[in-house]
Amino acid sequence: MPEGDTIFRAARTLNRALAGQIVTEFETVLPKLSRVDFDESIRGRTVDRVEAQGKWILMYFSAGRILLTHMLMSGSWHIYRPGEKWRLPRSSMRVMIATKSIVAVAFNIQIAEFHTQESVRRRAGFSSLGPSVLAASFDPTEGVQRLLANPELEVGEALLKQSVVAGIGNVFKSEICHACGIHPFRKVGSLTQSEAGDLMAVTQQFFRANVTDTSRNQIVTYSGLRRTTSRSKPEERLWVYKRRGKPCRKCGTPIESRKQGSDARTTFWCPRCQPN
């Protein structure tokens, strides 16, 4: 599942491509979206803005409609110039939004819904989101408070809980814990205030580093591989994720892994750098 940095970059790209433009064509294979389009017509509306909140993308149209999408495991948004060949087959298209200069296509997206400002606030799974790590208003102190409010959870589980902070996924979970020297299977209740603060500070640091923008006002945005180390070689860009049995980049101890939480997501850690 794409994590918050990927979703942020996708929303930023969509915003640069579509914001301020008038929709000239709207197409979808999803019945609920089709019904709204039939009743109210998305064509002729202006795309006001596109933004990310955690792992969700919100596309705001004039006259109060919001398209809410979640990529889950296999979804993606692409942008094309009119007439440009799509990189995925048309059978994978779920939503297509065209303007005079841009065609935005959502492929294999399983969650796509039209909302109003009122209904989106009530939407299960969205209404309970914690603060988005990449929001300009993100306050690590609030993240610490929300994290410590779940003392019964293991740290790795709590970091994935989107009501704590929105955006962390399985890669960052393992990488954040390693960078902080905290065993991911410790209970949150065992954390000191300082340790919880370190987790939130590193979370913000890693996320910001992975949405670095060098394209200014151009549509294309950062597309590099996710990186949590400062090493230049692509194969050395992560500390522990998917490195079971390989030597820790800090101490040389073999990395371990185990399933964690009700979703049985695999967590990676160094037993020496992250003692339990």
**Encoded tokens for 9:** 């970059």
Write down the catalytic residue from 3, 157, 175, 195.
Answer: 3
Q: Which residue do the tokens 């990449």 mark?
A: 134
Q: Which one is catalytic: 2, 131, 140, 184?
A: 2
**Measured distance CA(106)–CA(192) in Å, rounded:** 43
Token representation of residue 230: 């400062």
| Distances in whole angstroms, Cα of residue 261 to Cα of each of 99, 110, 155, 265, 266 | 44, 24, 10, 7, 9
Catalytic hit among 49, 227, 265, 271: 265
Q: Cα 230 to chain center, whole Å? A: 22
Catalytic site residue from 12, 16, 45, 55: 55
Active site residue 118: no
Active site residue 3: yes
The angle formed by the CA atoms of residues 94, 95 and 100, to the nearest 5 degrees, is 145
Helices (H) and strands (E) in the chain, counts: 7, 10
Known catalytic membership, residue 2: yes
Among residues 25, 49, 19, 48, which one has the least CA distance to residue 37?
25
Catalytic residues: 2-3, 55, 265
